[in-house]
Structure 1
Amino acid sequence: RSGIAYHEKTLGQLFCDTSAKEIVAMLLKGVAEAGGQVQLNTTVQSVTKIEGGYAIQLSCPHGPRAVTARNLVVACGGKPIPKMGATDFALRLAQQFGLPVTETYAGLVPFTFSGAQHEAFKSISGVAAPARLQTNGTAFDEAVLFTHRGLSGPAALQVSSYWSPGDVLTLGLLPEEELRRAVREAKETEGRKSPLTIFTRLLPARLVPVVLNDLALPERIADLTAAQLDGLTARLTQWQLTPAGTEGYRTAEVMVGGVDTAALSSKTMMAKTQPGLYFIGECVDVTGWLGGYNFQWAWSSGWVAGQAIKAGL
């Protein structure tokens, strides 16, 4: 409707042909057409319930200002990337009005490692590979990216929302059938070559020695025993890794947890115990996968609240 040209990428994701600034301009235009105002460099000092609505005390560039409103929509996000201005204001406001807030932690965030594992990953920083990464029964088949601090890439970001401190990650770099077939064929036709040589055809060359260096493999693939093959298979299909933690809110794309959905109307997003008070977007305990789902939730929950207010519900 706004005439913004876009194209589709992997997994159905839509991107602007030129710049995402066009989306910002579209949204600001919509605000203006609806009669709304955007006021920058303004801090909310307090929110008080009054008869028929709410009183908001603001700190503005030209001094303090008080406004009143029949409806108040809290749409200020969560904790991720504080250097951009993110805070827990929405959660504190919810608690002020007696709404429950579930436990929050960083989601869609890279993992960090310590000790020898950290040193190993640091040596292959920048290497990416398609993989299956899983934890707590949830798996994602996407790329992983090794970094100077640990593990990132789409698969790692996705899994992070299901991980808790101390949990193990299982990294599968190759399907077992493909691995065993490659070993069988190499034994038959290239038995004098080393396992490292064989597997650099299947995985990034810099990654192979880091993955296999402690397996005590023979110099020739032909000499690989059944027990060694089992160890190799376990490493390449189910590598067990325990992160030290995550990058935290500093780089997280979303906050897991937030204002408890049980305290909000699913039809209007209004607090069940506070007429005229709405919570939408990331500050609510709704977290989507990577790929636009969190934007969709923010816009959809905002639309629902707007329609409810417009209808006087």
Structure 2
Amino acid sequence: MGDVTAVVDPPGKARRLGTDNRKEKRRAYKKYRVLLLLMIPSVVYVTIFNYIPIYGLLIAFENFHITKGFFNSPWVGLEHFRNAFQDPYFFVVLKNTILISLYKMLWGFPIPILFAVLLSEVRNAKFKKTVQTVSYLPHFISWIILGGIFMSIFSLDGPVNAVIRLFGGDPILFMADQQYFRAVLVATSVLASFGWSSIIYFAAIAGIDPHLHEAAVVDGAGRLKRMLYITIPLLMPVISIMLVLSMSGILDAGFDQIFNMYNTNVYDVSDIIDTYVYRKGLVDMDYGYATAVGLFKSLVGLVLMLTVNGLAKKMGGGEHTLW
């Protein structure tokens, strides 16, 4: 057999490639310098409010005292986590959080998709813009105001009970009845958020090639078939990614809403991890225990997001996942 000679690039070529890469990077930085400058406020915001507070997780493993600080408070290890799992009420709170979050996802996830798909078929541009604007408005209103509005609507003298009386029924105290309170939370949450949540689906629909619809019309497809066989299938990558993102917040049942709407009569069905942490941390000043419960919630959300992302990658490929 003949000699096999390895082909090795000369050192000069490697240096030239490295120099060319650096030049390409400099050209890219120069080309996109305005966009990079626009990123600076976001990077600063995330650093200050998301990364620097990570040091505060030390409190979950300490018997924290404000006067002693993070590094001088007594270290207790996993004691706060053990106390949480030994507290029967913690599991009541966990159950409420999971149930309310699942109910909100069950109703709140598909409704924005359906709203965007149906409204995109409306041909009257003025009517479409008006409906979109009205649907966005609740997102910009604080839950302090929305909570008061909804509490008035569902009060004994509110319009809902007025309709019940009109049909001969007895008025219901929705805001203090454990049987109805979760349904009120879910319904008001969906009503307040579906318009804003639909924006990304409107954007995705606007990016669909109109020639696909034109070809389907030539073939005799009506609006329903075009929605079923063109619009919705092309929305699936966006829907999948939004589902993965929503799973990361599965234990975020809505602190602002519940804190402004619940009361002691419905604690057993509406007290969630966030309100529980608020009371333990800021009212009872048990900072270590509250931080431990909050950390547990974050870890569960992370595990769920990784799991759903992995399942989506196996079923739909890389375009249906975050990474």
Q: TM-score range by the shorter chain?
A: under 0.3
The structure in which a higher percent of residues are helix is: 2
Structure number, greater radius of gyration = 2
Normalised by the length of structure 2, the TM-score is: 0.23
| Structure with higher RCO (Cα < 8 A, 6+ apart) | 2
TM-score, structure 1 as length reference: 0.24
Q: Which structure shows the bigger proportion of residues in strand conformation?
A: 1
